[in-house]
Structures are given as C-alpha cells and as structure tokens.
Amino acid sequence: MDIGKSFSYVFEDPKWMMKILIGGIVAIVPIVNFAAIGYMLATMKNVADGQANPLPEWGEFGAHFMKGLYAVVGALVYFAPMILLYCCIFVLSFAGSAMAGSGSSSGGDTIGTVLGLVTVCIQCIAGLYALVAGVTLYAPMTRFAMSDNKLAIFWDFRTNFDFIMKNLTNYIIALLIAIVGSFVAGFGIILCVVGVFFTTFWSYLVTAHVFGQFWRDAQSKGTAPAV
C-alpha cells in the first residue's frame, strides 16, 4: 500500500479546496454530518476502483447522506451488545443506590455488594467489547462502502473477522494510518491553508484512501469477501 499517497492525494484534485471546505462545514453540523461519513465511504470505493481523482462531487449530497445514515445505523448495530451492557450497568447502579438510600441492613449490604461486583464484571466485559468492536469496525465499514447499502454486512461477524485475519498485516497498517491521520488532525497541523476546523474531515479522507487500498489489495489476492 502507498501510505504517503493516503496523506497527499486529496491535494491532487483540482477542486480539493472547495471539496474540503464543504466537507469541513458539513462534518460539524449534527445529523447533516452523516453526509460527511457517506462522502468518506464513496471516496473509499473510488480508491478501491482505481479512480485517478477519487474525491466525489458534493452534488450527490442526498446519496452521501443516505450512505452515511445507513453506516451509522450499521455501526450502532455493531456496538449494540456494548450499549445493552451499559444499560444493564445503569440499572444495577440505580438499584444499588436505591438500596443504599433506603437504610442499611446486613441483607441489604450483602445484596449491594453483590450488585457492585456484578456491575464491575459487566463493565469489564463492556469495555473489552468496545475495544474489540472499535478495532474491527473498519472491516464491515469497508465492505459496506463497496456494497449497495447492505446493512446485513455489519452483523456478519464471522465473515468480517475472517476478512481481517486473511489480511491481518495490511489491516493493522491501514488502522494505524487512520489513527495517525486522526492524531495529526487533532492538532490541526496539516497545511494551514486548509484550516484547523477542516483537518478532521481531511483525516476522514486519509482513512478512506488507505482502506480503499486495503480492499483493492485484498481483491487482488482473492481474500476480499463478497459484498
């Protein structure tokens, strides 16, 4: 994979400044920012398809918005077990607080201790799931970018993990590049002409390019799953 290209390809597009300007504004508006996610996924597919200038036009705003909306729904499904676990933690914490406020007794203290231990265990499981889901999310996200909005990809866990394991080295590299892009964007130190408020959107496009390359390489090796 061409790592350097992922950081610089944006600026090779003749309309790069306007596209990032629009994207930066879209990305900071709640709900509307689903379109920025959809734009990232469209860029990812264009990179995978080998287009010379993979940044799409913003004229297809509705399509970008719907793609991003579906992706957010898919990600929520992907993190649903973690969300459910945290709901359980909230209920148990509320129950423990209620018991503590109702007066102390040996039986109540015992139940409170048990609830506390169960809460800690659930927190550990939820944290572990959040870590695994966060690290592996780009597998279904990349497959989804190549598909016709097939949400079922997000809960096709076996295929997603198999996809990662068959391309583990490149997946780790792509993930690290995405993290580096986000880290750099957080400090706003990429080309002052873009502006600090637009570097986050730029980092989306770095991620799009490196995972587009990741998919193209997997396809060439015959290790990319069906979409």
The H or E element containing residue 16 is: helix 16-27
Q: How many CB atoms lie within 10 A of CB 148?
A: 7
pTM (2 d.p.): 0.85
Helix, strand, or coil here: 20?
A: helix
DSSP track, 106-135: HHHHHHHHHHHHHHHHHHHHHHHHHHHHHH
Domain with 66, as residue range(s), is 3-81+132-221
Average pLDDT, rounded, for the chain: 87
More confident residue, 109 or 175: 175
Domain count, the chain: 1
Residues 80-104: tens digit of each pLDDT: 988 898 888 888 777 666 665 555 5
Residue 60 in any domain: the answer is: yes
Assess contact for 136 and 161: CB atoms under 8 A: yes
The residue to which tokens 């497959």 are assigned: 143
Residue 192 in any domain: the answer is: yes
pLDDT score of 188 more than 70: no
Residue 56 in any domain: the answer is: yes
Residue 106 in any domain: the answer is: no
- What pLDDT does 190 receive? 47
